[in-house]
Every structure is written in structure tokens, then in C-alpha cells.
Amino acid sequence: METQLKPTTEFQCVFTIKYTDTVESPLKINDMALLKKFPLLMEAVDAENPNWRTTPDAKIVVSKPIPFPFDQASLAFILCNIMEYEHPNSLEGGGDAAEHYPEAVQHTADQLKQICEAAHYLKCETFMHCIAFVIGSTKLSNVAPEKIADFLELKKEGQKAEQ
């Protein structure tokens, strides 16, 4: 399945994503602002073309496949929503998940956990916080915060991961 987003400039970056649920699939990003939301992908571009930021009309092909240990649906969800989702702390008028993240609210807690893990893997921290907020405020709203952290497998600051 090829994922392609609408071009907003002449910029184009092509990756090969190696998913867990398929062998490999091309990903084309035609918007530099979108690419900048994905630190892991930017690292891959930097490795092959360190001057890409100064050439907005560049056509970049990243030759090395990028492993993505999640399904295509997780990446597709992130790609479709990352430009619209703001950090929960910056929401005006408080944080109503259904109002600010309606697409995320439609998913189950387990699907959102997968998306949150995928965002973390891609180093999309703000998006990860958005999804964690939706999980905590809508899917597990009657659960203690410590249990939500356990569900998301988050460790408290200074807590060592079990060996």
C-alpha cells in the first residue's frame, strides 16, 4: 500500500518503510513541514542528504529501508492527524478529547496504545502525548493514573525498567 499525501511545495521525500504486517511499502512525503514532525525520518534523511533543509524543492530518496515494528494503520493514522493535533497542555478552553481529537476517540484503548507506541518509536512526542491524553480521558477515565501508566507501560522518572 503506497501512502502519499497532498503536495504543498515542490519538496518530495521518498522512504521505504518495512512494516511488521507487510514486507515493504513506499512512503512519499511532499511537505517539508510534515517531515519535520517526524524526527526519526529526519534522521534518515540527514544521514543521506544533510543539506535537505536548505533545498525546499529537493527530490530526496532515502535508500535504506526504515524498519517500523508496527502495522500500516498506525503510521497512516499518525500521518493523517499529526499536523492537526496540538499538545493537550496547549488546548484552549480545557481539554475535551472528543472535541480536539475526534479521530482518536473513535479507536479502542488497545488501538490507541499501538498508535502511541508507534508515535514514541518515531520520536513524535507531542503526538504521543495527545494519544495518551485520549486514552486517559476517554478510554480509561475511571482508572487511577498509575494504572494508565502501567497500561501504556510508562516508567516514572528515575524508575528502572525491569530486567
Q: What is the pLDDT of residues 59-90, one digit of tens each?
A: 888 999 999 999 899 999 999 999 999 998 88
What does the alpha-carbon distance between residue 112 and residue 115 come to, in Å, rounded to a whole number? 5
Return the percentage of the chain with pLDDT > 90, whole number.
Answer: 46
| Secondary structure (3-state) at 110 | helix
What does the alpha-carbon distance between residue 1 and residue 5 come to, in Å, rounded to a whole number? 13
What does the alpha-carbon distance between residue 142 and residue 76 come to, in Å, rounded to a whole number? 29
Angle between helices 125-134 and 109-121 (to 10 degrees): 170
pTM for the structure as a whole: 0.81
Going by the DSSP 8-state scheme, the letter that residue 25 receives in this structure is E
Q: In this predicted model, what pLDDT tens digit does every residue of 122-137 receive, in sequence order?
A: 999 999 999 998 988 8
Residues 6+ apart with CB under 8 A from 87: 126, 129, 130
Read off the pLDDT band of 96 (50, 70, 90): confident
Read off the pLDDT band of 162 (50, 70, 90): very low
